[in-house]
Structure 1
Amino acid sequence: MLQIILGAVSLGLLWAVMTIGVFITYRILDIADLTVEGSIAMGAAIAAYAIYNGMNPYEATLIALLGGMAAGLITGLLHTKLKIPALLSGILTMIALYSVNLRIMGKANLSLLRMNTVYTNFENIGLNHTNAVIALGLLCIAGVVGILYWFFGTEIGCAIRATGNNSQMARAQGINTNNMIILGLVISNGLVAVSGALIAQSQSFADVQMGMGSIVIGLASVIIGEVLFGKRNFFNRLLSLVMGAITYRTIIALVLKLGMPANDLKMFTAITVALALSLPAMKTYLTPLKKSIKEGM
């Protein structure tokens, strides 16, 4: 059981980077960005191809970051310059990235078995693979949370938050909201691509289909984190995202341990997200019912 939980924690830390990227678009910019389903696979494809051809894994992960940022830039330009709705812009980019990822890898999947990855140095000092993933995952999360906490406290970061909160008021204050939307999408998909690169190196292969359903996983982690761990301030929200991703992965691991077929995981995730998102509406419906019960007593 301990090994199952450690495995869930290690995977949760890697997916937490993607969850933070989803949070930037979904919560801060108020955009449901489906680009992530393509950019997470793109990050995996770029890193896998680069490592397969002898590149340093850290450099390969950095290039994956740039690839994800480029994907976010395309979505941002489609939305802000060509006036295509944000949801449709993400869908268009996601569809295009499927072909791009196939072009990058040259085939549907690429193996990284017996090749050096970003975890190799940790394994060389005596850590097993799971502990190596946890160690690097913690370092990555600490770096991402620290940088984003600082960045969103700067003038530009506050402008991005203001754009998502009230774009009309932001424009009245002289903020170029289009540029802020593009920047937010670039940062978000860059993080998502890094997550894809780390996941691919952890599981020793990249697959063109690995992004399928990732937006739902990201949303589930965001909702679970906010519901269970709160959102008192921005730093607390960032930490809650990490805990949400780990909690989600732990739930999935335990559900599988209890015998749920793996084919039902997507449906389970969708139901979890639907229930979490419907909590405010449920409270609205239940409040009059509770009141009438009390009056009847």
Structure 2
Amino acid sequence: MFAAMFGSVEQGIIYAIMALGVYLSFRVLDFPDLTVDGSFVTGAAIAATMVVLGYNPILATVTALIVGFLAGCLTGLLHTKGKINALLSGILMMIALYSINLRIMGFSRENTISLPNIPLMNDETIFTKFTSYWSTLGIDDTLNGLLSSIGVKFLPQTWGILFLMILITLVFKFLTDWLLQTEIGLAIRATGDNKRMIKSFSANTDYLIIFGLGLSNALVAFSGALFAQYSKSSDVGMGIGMIIIGLASVIIGEAIFGTKTLMRTTMAVVAGAIIYRIILGLALRVDILDTGDMKLITAVIVILALVIPQFFEKRREKKRKAKRYAERMAAMNVSQGKGEDSVAQTGTD
């Protein structure tokens, strides 16, 4: 159980960066961007190809982020300059990226035009580099000693990956908070809320949409690059359903933690990604389910995350209406009582 939870938390933190990207496009820009399914694989393909070719894994990961930004900008250009429907723009870019990703992974092998997957079993990744440094600190022995003292049987070989991912995800979370509170960030948020209004202030909404989608897909591609190095492989089909995972993370986080402030909302998105992976990991431990049911489980989780909050909100609204009705009736009774008292007083006089 602890082993499944530990792996789910690690994957959830990696997916949290992707969920932040989905939050930027769907919630902030109000743009249904399906490029995510392609740009996630693009990030993984870029990172895996460069690692196999001997490049520094940190450089490979940063390059994946830049290429993801360009992919998002192209989606924005299709919509703003090509006047193509927002949903269709994302679909077209997602389809184009499928072939592009095959080509990118083909560069890792000589005389290969396209390649559907790249294994990274014996290659140095950003995680292996950090883990080798982490092991010299001796923190793993201390943490595992504490766990064994309370009866935990599964002890991870290293806590370094978890620590590194928490650090990276928090950096991107706070950078997102900072950006959305800058002048351009406020303009992007205003574009998502009311495009006509922000246009009336002479703002270039086309530029804001392109830039916002670029940032969104940069985060998605960065997450894909990290996931490829974490899972030791890059596959052309690994991005299928990523948009649903991102939406599930956003919806679950917002439903549980709320959206009162910007910083709270972004933290809710991060937490939602972790909770989603934990729920998925626990669901797969049920005997009647297997790994082939992951997409079905994801769909069910999203449906429940959408329906359950509405159910509770309706109940709260009924209670609020009943309370307001009771308060009005009480006020009417009091006013009627005062009126009768005044009439009685007048008759006595």
> Shorter-chain TM-score: which interval?
over 0.9
Task: Name 1:41's counterpart in structure 2.
Answer: 41
Q: Does 1:160 align with 2:188?
A: yes
| Among candidates 236, 251, 263, match of residue 279 of structure 2 | 251
Q: State the SS of the aligned residue for 1:119.
A: helix
Task: Name 1:21's counterpart in structure 2.
Answer: 21
Report 1:1-297 matches (<5 A).
1-106=1-106, 107-124=115-132, 125-126=134-135, 131-259=159-287, 260-279=289-308, 282=311
- After superposition, what is the alpha-carbon deviation per residue over 1:228-262, rounded to whole angstroms, capped at 9, x for unaligned? 11111000011111110000000111111122221
Task: Name 2:112's counterpart in structure 1.
Answer: none
- After superposition, what is the alpha-carbon deviation per residue over 1:188-232, rounded to whole angstroms, capped at 9, x for unaligned? 000000000000000000000000000001101110101111111
Q: Which amino acid aligns with 2:91?
A: I
For the Cα contact (< 8 Å) 2:255–2:309, is it kept in 1? no
Counterparts in 2 of 1:69 and 1:134: CA distance versus 1, 3 Å: same
Moved beyond 4 Å, runs of 4+: 127-130, 279-291
Task: Name 1:294's counterpart in structure 2.
Answer: none
Q: State the SS of the aligned residue for 2:118.
A: strand
Counterparts in 2 of 1:135 and 1:41: CA distance versus 1, 3 Å: same
Q: Which amino acid aligns with 1:233?
A: T
Structure 2 CA distance, aligned partners of 1:132 and 1:195?
18
Structure 1 CA distance, aligned partners of 2:318 and 2:170?
45
RMSD: 2.2
Q: State the SS of the aligned residue for 1:110.
A: strand
For the Cα contact (< 8 Å) 2:131–2:158, is it kept in 1? no
Question: 1:121 deviation in Å?
Answer: 2.7
- After superposition, what is the alpha-carbon deviation per residue over 1:6-50, rounded to whole angstroms, capped at 9, x for unaligned? 111100000000000000001001111100000000000000000
Question: 1:168 deviation in Å?
Answer: 0.8
Question: 1:73 deviation in Å?
Answer: 0.8
For the Cα contact (< 8 Å) 1:6–1:130, is it kept in 2? no
Query: Structure 2: which 5+ residue stretches go unaligned?
Result: 107-114, 141-155, 321-349
For the Cα contact (< 8 Å) 1:123–1:129, is it kept in 2? no
Task: Name 2:337's counterpart in structure 1.
Answer: none
Structure 2 CA distance, aligned partners of 1:285 and 1:153?
33
For the Cα contact (< 8 Å) 1:39–1:68, is it kept in 2? yes
Q: Which amino acid aligns with 2:235?
A: D
Q: State the SS of the aligned residue for 2:45.
A: helix
Aligned residues: percent identity? Answer: 47
Q: Which amino acid aligns with 2:116?
A: A
Q: State the SS of the aligned residue for 2:87.
A: helix
Q: Compute the TM-score of the two structures, normalised by the length of structure 1.
A: 0.93
Q: Which moved more, 1:193-202 or 1:110-119?
A: 110-119
Task: Name 2:343's counterpart in structure 1.
Answer: none
For the Cα contact (< 8 Å) 1:33–1:87, is it kept in 2? yes
Structure 2 CA distance, aligned partners of 1:203 and 1:130?
15
For the Cα contact (< 8 Å) 2:40–2:224, is it kept in 1? yes
Structure 1 CA distance, aligned partners of 2:317 and 2:211?
44
Structure 2 CA distance, aligned partners of 1:60 and 1:30?
31
Query: Structure 1: which 5+ residue stretches go unaligned?
Result: 292-297
For the Cα contact (< 8 Å) 2:34–2:87, is it kept in 1? yes
Q: Which amino acid aligns with 2:159?
A: N
Q: Which amino acid aligns with 1:189?
A: N
Question: 1:275 deviation in Å?
Answer: 3.0
Question: What is the total number of aligned residue pairs between the two structures?
Answer: 295
Task: Name 1:295's counterpart in structure 2.
Answer: none
- After superposition, what is the alpha-carbon deviation per residue over 1:255-291, rounded to whole angstroms, capped at 9, x for unaligned? 1112222111211211221232345654687689999
Counterparts in 2 of 1:55 and 1:288: CA distance versus 1, 3 Å: closer
User: Which of these two proteins has the greater Rg computed from alpha carbons?
Assistant: 2
Counterparts in 2 of 1:131 and 1:287: CA distance versus 1, 3 Å: closer
Q: Which moved more, 1:76-85 or 1:130-139?
A: 130-139
Q: Compute the TM-score of the two structures, normalised by the length of structure 2.
A: 0.80
